[in-house]
A and B are shown apart, each in its own frame.
Chain A
Amino acid sequence: MSSLSPLLFLILVPIFSALFILLGANPRSTSILGSAVNLLFLLALVVFFRPMELGYQFVSTFPVVPHLGISFTLGADGLSLVMLFLSTVVTLAAVCVAKTPDNNPRWYYASLLLISSGVIGAFASVDVFFFYMFHELALIPTFLLIGIWGSGDRQAAAWKATVYLATGSFILLLGIIGLYLIQPIGTRSFDLREMIANAQAGLIPDAPGVYLLLLLGFGILVSLFPFHTWAPQAYACAPAPASMLHAGVLKKFGLYGLIRIVAPILPDSVQRFAPLLLVLLVCNILYVGYITIAQRKLDWMLGYSSVMHMGYIFLGFAALNQLSLTGASLMLLSHGLTIAVLFALCGEIRERTGTLDFSELGGIARICPKLGLAFGFAAMASVGLPGFVGFAGELLVFFGAFASGEAKMGIVDGVEVFGFNFYQIATICAVWGIVISAVYMLRAYRRIFMGPLPERWSRLPDLSGFSRASIILLIAVMLILGFFPQILVNLATPSLLVP
């Protein structure tokens, strides 16, 4: 056993905070303190991280089931560090935004912290098996959070999400077992490093069945069309911090897994089934996009929009080249931050007005200018305006995807042709998605914040206290990284193994 990884600390802080809360510590201050410590600790790790080195750093390993090659291996490289940053920042924002409920506040905060430790554990794991296990840690807390403290038809939403997620993750588990078994006997391991080494040595045969299991499993978790129906409902009904963590961070698990595990190990299958995935992701963008436009309530609209945006990241994965994967990684972060701000603001509005129906709201920016400004920023970021990380991510994804596939344009084999391949058609559709998101975001902004102010909303308080601080924090991160996306590109690129 090597020395202990500092990443273990990141996982344990939320767990111990949750335990202390259950044992009687003040729920709110303990969770804010724990998350803040975690974020600071992560920033310290970033300082000690050596971006020029390839491979994982801060590695520690502890065999758990030796005969199956399962070990509790922690480690971080650039991309996982980015995801860890996202997790800790959103956790801090989520617990700050959280409004202590009247019933059972201890379990409320403990559940949030358990979700947080689950995602941190997943992103810090090098072992595929523990990567999976940590993700599942969030299952029961999510069920409790939506079911107890949700709004609307919370029970149906909680059931639906739980059954979908449980099914998806079991299919994923079968896929992971398949991934283990297609490795040659003797070198089988769940360690991602060894899996990739096997793949690079050409020892892993192409396995379409395993790929489809993984795609289906990850796809259900990421709400890939047509398995997306759990997501909008769950996000709409969940309390704001739960939506922030779930839509912002937890859902990125699936895409991270595809980029991290599937792309380097089964690239041939990815390319073989690319047309299928492209069709599905275009449905994600266009079909779900149009559904988003049709929404009449802000929470449902945000839920659908978060499903829609997954389509871009899937496009980055499907195109499978350096540019598009980098873009996809950037979008993992940008979408996580953006949707977290949006759900936080959505929760703030719900708390103030008690309704999220567009037809009842209006003119709120006049009395809550800060709320309006923050929503404006987040809406712009969600659309992908330059100045926010999302812009760089989308741009890279589109460039990468358009360049992918065999050329059908220009001079091919001495003949001048003009046509589009699958990737290019999908890219064109995806670009149209930007227009769609602009439509619904701007319309939502207009319906909520512009226009005449109804009399009954004339005394709403503006953002203040911890919520304001956490939203400023998220927007600041979005802007800083939006102006200097190269920081992220430099971090993420070495960890992307392009076949």
Chain B
Amino acid sequence: MISPIVLEVCVVCLGIFLLMAESFSVKSNKVVLAHGAIFGLLCVFILSFFIDASPAQMQSSGFYVVDDLAMFFKRFAILSTIVTLILAVDYLPVVQRLVPSEKPGAGTGEFFVLPVFTCAGLMWMASAADFIVIFCALELVTISLYIQVAYMRRSLASLEAGTKFLILGALSTGFFVYGITWIFGMTGQTGLAEIQRNLTINTEANQMAILFGLGMVLVALGFKIAAAPFQFWVPDVYQGAPTPITAYLAVASKAAGFLILIRVLEPFLTVLAFQPKLILVLALLSGMTLIYGNLAAIPQINFKRLLGYSSIGHAGYLLAGLAAVGDAFAGRAVVFYLCGYFLMTFLAFLVLIPVAKATGGDDISHFNGLARRSPFLALGMLIAAASLAGVPFTVGFFGKFFIFESIINQHFYGLAAIGVVTVASGFYYYFKVIRAMYWMPPAEDAAPVNISFLAKLAVAICAVLIVVLGCYPQLLIQALP
């Protein structure tokens, strides 16, 4: 059997190989690189099913865990990178236009290679069981994302987004390290398992200090998952970044943040003295994030920005699920929601890119009349918007349903009441897109909407999965850790 670490090694090697190929090849068509990366990642994805599930020597080191959750998120990361690359292929003309170079196409190769390194970081993060490893993986992900966000050097928005992301990201990293030092200082450990052991043995430890350290870590993770009040970077960065990278940030980076949150909170939640406080903090964060994300999304007219706010809103629902951790099903509800979020957000971006390419902008009004210009894409976006809003028979509905079932079971009536407001406003702003596509006439001079075969396939797969899982969620629930 194959040792699980092989997966990460493969991905890193793939990245290095592609980078070399990019440097030494004379071909100017960089799309081959993207296809190579997609193919390589698919191979790793298939490989991940042939992993030795109980590598004792790795577990005992305390750095690296391979449980169901980790494997699940490794696959999640690989798939989201693949979809990002598919998006990137469609987005290539925009990047070419906005990256200065002597001959066309030069300087775009890294655009396809960097996500592969990010993917390796995400996979590492999935298995990280020690604050130091978490930190390293987190930095690998974040630093490669800094470059990707600011990739389009001629676009002011992209540069602005990159700067904002860099400064705030660095700040949050500072918080993270600071928090780790406090926790290390009080427990003498950086491994999560050891921390848990020390916490249960030594109940006399200074709880305030540990909570303070944990609070700092939560601030940093709140930044990652875009929870209010650490969400200020999201709208600008999402709007300015290259669209595939926006999607990557919205899905993979956020999911990784939630995974780390689950891993970090686990040892602390088992301590009875911490549990009520932590749950209260999570519930408060969730409430704020829900309200901010959903209400601020209402007046948006730019679709990318709208998706940025919506990703804040969805972080709120996910946090609500984490707050309901006492419910036996809450953990799986969160992971289920993440999977649904993966499908519907990527579907929205998959439609957005060709539309933006054809119309020259990514405002909601650029979707006008899409139903007549490209019924296929319009149907895809209809399904994505319905699912994001939480209309039944889509996976988004079941995601919300499971989360709310858990939180009502845990008697968080306040969050449920907030949910009424946020779900209603969600319907409003997601339906704005449907309105543009179906009610409005298309612009006179609109160019035809073209879409590559791979992207078309991805749209079809996402749309079908959203509906199938919306009718029969058990398919996914069975596969959840």
- Listed in ascending order, the chain A residues whose CB lies under 8 Å from chain B are 63-68, 104, 107, 132-134, 136-137, 139-140, 143-144, 147-148, 155, 158-159, 162-163, 166-167, 170-171, 173-174, 177-178, 180-181
Inter-subunit contact B431/A167 (CB<8 Å): no
Which of B51-59, B305-313, B400-408 is the interface stretch? Answer: B400-408
Q: Which residue of A lies closest to B407 (CB)?
A: A177
What DSSP secondary structure best describes chain B's contact surface?
Answer: helix
With A174-B404, A178-B408 as known contacts, state yes or no: A143 contacts B420, CB within 8 Å. no
Which candidate, B9-17, B196-204, B235-243, B434-442, is the interface stretch facing chain A? Answer: B434-442
Chain B residue contacts of A134, Cβ below 8 A: 392
Instruction: Pick the residue among B398, B408, B423 that contacts A177 (CB under 8 A).
Output: B408
B409 & A181 in contact (Cβ 8 Å cutoff): yes
Please state if B392 and A136 are interface contacts (CB–CB under 8 Å).
yes
Chain A nearest CB, measured from B91 CB (Å)? 29
In the bound complex, what is the Cα–Cα distance between A158 and B420 (angstroms)? 20
Chain A residues near B372 (CB, 8 Å)?
104
CB pair A104 B371 closer than 8 Å: yes
Q: Which of B397, B401, B420, B431 contacts A171 (CB 8 A)?
A: B420
Chain B residues with CB under 8 Å of A158's CB are 435
Residues of the B chain whose Cβ atoms lie less than 8 Å from the Cβ of A181:
405, 408-409
Give Cα A371–Cα B58 distance, bound, in whole angstroms. Answer: 83
Indicate which residue in A132, A147, A166 contacts B424 across the interface (CB closer than 8 Å).
A166
Residues of chain A contacted by B474 (CB below 8 angstroms): 63-66
Distance in angstroms between the alpha carbons of A170 and B428 in the assembled complex: 14
> Could you say which of A65, A139, A155, A158 has the most chain B C-beta atoms within 10 Å of its C-beta?
A65
Binary contact track B379-396/A, C-beta < 8 Å → 1, others 0: 000100010011111000
With A137-B392, A166-B424, A174-B420 known as contacts, the answer to whether A148 contacts B439 (CB < 8 A) is yes
> What mask results when residues 456 to 481 of chain B are scored 1 for a CB within 8 Å of chain A, else 0?
00000000000000011110010000
* Bound Cα distance A159, B427 (Å): 10
* Interface contact A163-B393, CB-CB below 8 Å: no
- Report yes or no: B438 in contact with A163, Cβ–Cβ below 8 A: no
Complex contacts, B439 vs chain A, CB 8 Å: 144, 147-148, 155
- Given contacts A65-B474, A148-B439, A166 and B392 within 8 Å (CB-CB): no
Tell me whether A170 and B424 are in contact (CB under 8 A): yes
Let me know if B416 is at the binding interface, CB within 8 A: yes
Are B472 and A136 in touch, CB under 8 angstroms?
A: no
Contact A166–B473 (Cβ < 8 Å): no
B416: which A residues are within 8 A, CB to CB?
174
Q: Are A67 and B329 in contact (CB under 8 A)?
A: yes
Please list 5 pairs of residues, one from A and one from B, whose beta carbons are closer than 8 Å in the complex, sorted by A's number: A133-B397, A147-B438, A159-B431, A166-B389, A177-B408
B82 CB, min distance to chain A CBs, angstroms:
29
Residue contact B477 to A65, C-beta cutoff 8 Å: yes
Question: B354 within 8 Å of A by Cβ?
Answer: no
User: CA–CA, A141 to B471, complex, Å?
Assistant: 18
Closest B residue to A146 using CB positions: B439
Bound complex: CA A173 to CA B423 (Å): 11
- How far does the alpha carbon of A390 sit from the alpha carbon of B472 in the complex, in Å? 41
Extra A-B contacts (20), CB below 8 Å, given A68-B329, A107-B438, A158-B435: A66-B474, A67-B477, A107-B371, A133-B392, A133-B393, A136-B391, A139-B391, A143-B431, A143-B435, A144-B438, A144-B439, A147-B435, A147-B438, A148-B439, A155-B435, A162-B427, A171-B420, A173-B404, A174-B404, A180-B405
Closest B-chain residue to A66, C-beta based?
A: B474
Q: B113-129, CB under 8 A of A: which get 1 and which 0?
A: 00000000000000000
B420 touching A177 by the CB < 8 A rule? no
- Mark B residues whose CB is within 8 Å of A: 329, 371-372, 382, 386, 389-393, 397-398, 401, 404-405, 408-409, 416, 419-420, 423-424, 427-428, 431, 434-435, 438-439, 471-474, 477
Residue of B nearest to A164 (CB): B424
With CB as the reference atom, state the residue of chain B lying closest to A167. B424
Given contacts A147-B439, A163-B428, A171-B420, contact A177 B405 (CB under 8 A): yes
B479 to chain A, nearest CB (A): 14
If A64-B474, A171-B420 touch, does A166 touch B427 (CB 8 Å cutoff)?
yes
List A contacts of B409 (CB < 8 A).
Answer: 181
A190 to chain B, nearest CB (A): 11
From known contacts A64-B474, A162-B427, infer whether A177 and B329 are also in contact, taking CB-CB under 8 Å.
Answer: no
Instruction: Tell me the minimal C-beta distance from A308 to chain B in angstroms.
Output: 26
Taken together as a complex, chains A and B put the C-alpha atoms of A238 and B200 apart, in Å, by 64
Shortest Cβ distance from A155 into B: residue: B439
- Across the interface, which residues of B come within 8 angstroms of A174, CB to CB? 404, 408, 416, 419-420
Assembled-state Cα–Cα distance A66/B474 (Å): 8
Contact partners of B419 in chain A: CB under 8 A = 170, 174
Residues from chain B with a CB closer than 8 A to the CB of A63 are: 474
Chain A nearest CB from B176 CB (Å) reads 36
Give the residue name and chain of the A residue nearest to B477 (CB): A65
**Which among B386, B419, B424 has the highest number of chain A CB atoms within 10 Å?**
B424
B477 touches A159 (CB 8 A): no
Q: Which of chain B's residues have a CB closer than 8 A to the CB of A163?
A: 424, 427-428
- Give the Cβ gap from B295 to chain A, nearest Cβ, in Å: 14
Q: How far is the CB of B428 from chain A (nearest CB, A)?
A: 6
A260 and B229 CA atoms in complex are apart in Å by 45
Contacts of B473 in A (CB 8 A): 64-65
A166 contacts which chain B residues (CB < 8 A)? 389, 423-424, 427
A64 adjacent to B472 (CB under 8 Å): yes
Which residue of chain B lies nearest to A68 when distances are taken between CB atoms in the complex?
B405
Q: Which residue of A lies closest to B378 (CB)?
A: A107
Closest 3 CB pairs between A and B? A166-B427, A133-B392, A136-B392
With A133-B392, A137-B393: A173-B408 Cβ-Cβ less than 8 Å:
no
Q: Within 8 Å CB of A143, what residues of B?
A: 431, 434-435
Closest to A130 in B: B392
CA distance A50 to B329 in the complex (A): 42
Given known A-B contacts A170-B419, A171-B420, A132 and B392 have beta carbons under 8 A apart = yes
CA of A155 to CA of B434, assembled, Å: 12
**Contacting residue for A148 out of B431, B438, B472, CB 8 A:** B438
Query: CA–CA, A170 to B167, complex, Å?
Result: 40
Asked if residues A162 and B423 are in contact (CB atoms below 8 Å), the reply is no
Give chain A residues whose Cβ lies under 8 Å from the Cβ of B390: 170
Residues in A neighbouring B471, C-beta threshold 8 A: 64
Q: How many angstroms between the C-alpha atoms of A133 and B472 in the bound complex?
A: 12
In angstroms, how far is the closest chain A Cβ from the Cβ of B171? 37
Distance between Cα atoms of A274 and B67 in the complex (Å)? 55
CA distance A271 to B392 in the complex (A): 32
CB distance from B159 to the nearest CB of A (A): 38
CB nearest neighbor in B for A165: B427
Q: Nearest chain B CB to A75's CB is how many angstroms away? A: 19
Chain A residues with CB under 8 Å of B404's CB are: 173-174, 177
Most buried by B among A107, A167, A173, A177: A173
Instruction: Let me know if A140 and B408 touch, CB within 8 A.
Output: no
Instruction: Note all chain A residues with C-beta closer than 8 A to B371.
Output: 104, 107
Complex Cα spacing A133 to B396, Å: 13
CB neighbours (8 Å) of B408 from chain A are: 174, 177-178, 181
Separation in Å of the A130 CB from the closest CB of chain B?
9
A163 to B421, CA, bound (A): 10
